[in-house]
Amino acid sequence: MYLTIINGSEKQIQEFEEEVNINKLKQPERQKILHTKNEIKSAKSCTLKAKLNISHIKKEIKEFSNPKKLYLKYSAIKDKLKQIQEDFIVDKAKKWNTLLYGKIHSTVFNMPESYNLFSIGIDNENKNIEYINKNGKLYNSTKSLENSDLSQSITRRITGESTSSDCEVVVFGTESDMAKKIQNSAALKKFLSENMETLKKNKSIPDTTIEFTALDKDLYSSFHGAEIKNIFVDSEENLHFRIEDYYNFNPNRTSLKGRIEEKLQNNGFLKPYYIITVLKLQKKSGNQGIKFLCLKKVIKSRSFYIINFE
């Protein structure tokens, strides 16, 4: 609207100049016409600039009125700030401060098993031996296992996921803290629910993977490629199986924890090892059919060790 008025005034000046011989006008009149033309030109320039600013404002208002665009813009900024923060933490991560922070984090968020597994790998001197002795046994090599099939299976996995062909093996028994946590996990309940009919019919199922989610935060932080193996129901209808994983941090981890532990491993502070947890669930008969319950104390001796896996 304002631009139309200005253009009209500019046209009127042009028409006036065509009708009147400006050179015959006195200097004051010519100066007034020139001044008016400059004012019109300036007003036109300001109007065009204002029009452009209004266009930008309308665009921004439109973007902010669109929740999806606003969310994407906010998320991009948030992700960038998070990346900068995590890069700084990874850069400053050392063995001592990671152990300290890990202990605090595990205590505050009730994630003891995640920290215990980490401390086994990072403490090359005593390997959290008190925890291991309480819960199971440490084997210095896959070749130390008195089960050749299992030894070969572990070797195939670690050679497929790293440049090593051997590593230490930690075996947790049925009474271990890790076994109890797995027995009460949402992931295991889901697995049993999905496979109960097959177990009742065939008494066994093939080896497969099991994924621990954020519902089992301690186990989710502990295992990164867990497999559930040697799954069978015995003559007394108790369920036996093993949870296995390779505690190793391959390149290009994306989580903060994974990036820190990848760095420590690359610098020789964190040593990969293999984890086996042996489990046995007791049968319970009821109106809804066979169910399995955790045995709090299945075996009081060391018979849960690797030599009796078969």
120 shares its domain with 265: yes
Q: Which residues contact 198 (CB under 8 A, 6 or more apart)?
A: 205
110 shares its domain with 232: yes
183 shares its domain with 120: yes
119 shares its domain with 242: yes
138 shares its domain with 273: yes
48 shares its domain with 167: no
127 shares its domain with 255: yes
**303, part of any domain:** yes
Domain boundary pick from 41, 64, 87: 64
Angstrom distance (rounded) from CA 285 to CA 291: 6
Whether 187 contacts 212, CB under 8 Å? yes
**81, part of any domain:** no
**82, part of any domain:** no
Whether 142 contacts 169, CB under 8 Å? yes
Q: How far is CA 217 from CA 103, 187, 220, in A?
A: 15, 11, 5
**87, part of any domain:** no
Angstrom distance (rounded) from CA 140 to CA 137: 10
How many independent structural domains does the chain possess?
2
Angstrom distance (rounded) from CA 209 to CA 202: 19
Whether 151 contacts 165, CB under 8 Å? no
28 shares its domain with 140: no
**225, part of any domain:** yes
**77, part of any domain:** no
Domain boundary pick from 47, 64, 81: 64
14 shares its domain with 118: no
Domain boundary pick from 18, 46, 64: 64
For residue 168, the SS3 value is strand
Helix residue spans in 111-234 (DSSP H): 112-122, 129-135, 148-161, 177-183, 186-202, 217-222
Q: Are strands 273-284 and 168-172 parallel, antiparallel or unpaired?
A: parallel
162 shares its domain with 300: yes
Give the pLDDT of the chain (310 residues) as one tens digit per residue. Answer: 544 555 555 565 566 555 556 666 666 666 666 666 676 677 667 666 766 776 776 676 666 666 776 677 777 877 887 888 888 888 888 888 888 888 888 899 999 999 999 999 987 667 789 999 999 999 999 999 989 999 999 999 999 999 999 999 999 999 999 999 999 999 999 999 999 999 989 999 999 999 999 999 999 999 989 999 999 999 888 999 999 999 998 888 888 888 989 889 888 899 999 999 999 998 765 544 455 554 333 333 333 333 233 3
Contacts within 8 Å (CB) and 24+ apart, 285-288: none
33 shares its domain with 167: no
Owning domain of residue 209: 95-308
- Is the pTM higher than 0.85? The answer reads no
**89, part of any domain:** no
Neighbours of 217 (CB within 10 A): 14
**55, part of any domain:** yes
Whether 104 contacts 133, CB under 8 Å? no
125 shares its domain with 187: yes
Instruction: Give the residue among 214, 238, 245 at the shortest CA–CA distance from 292.
Output: 238
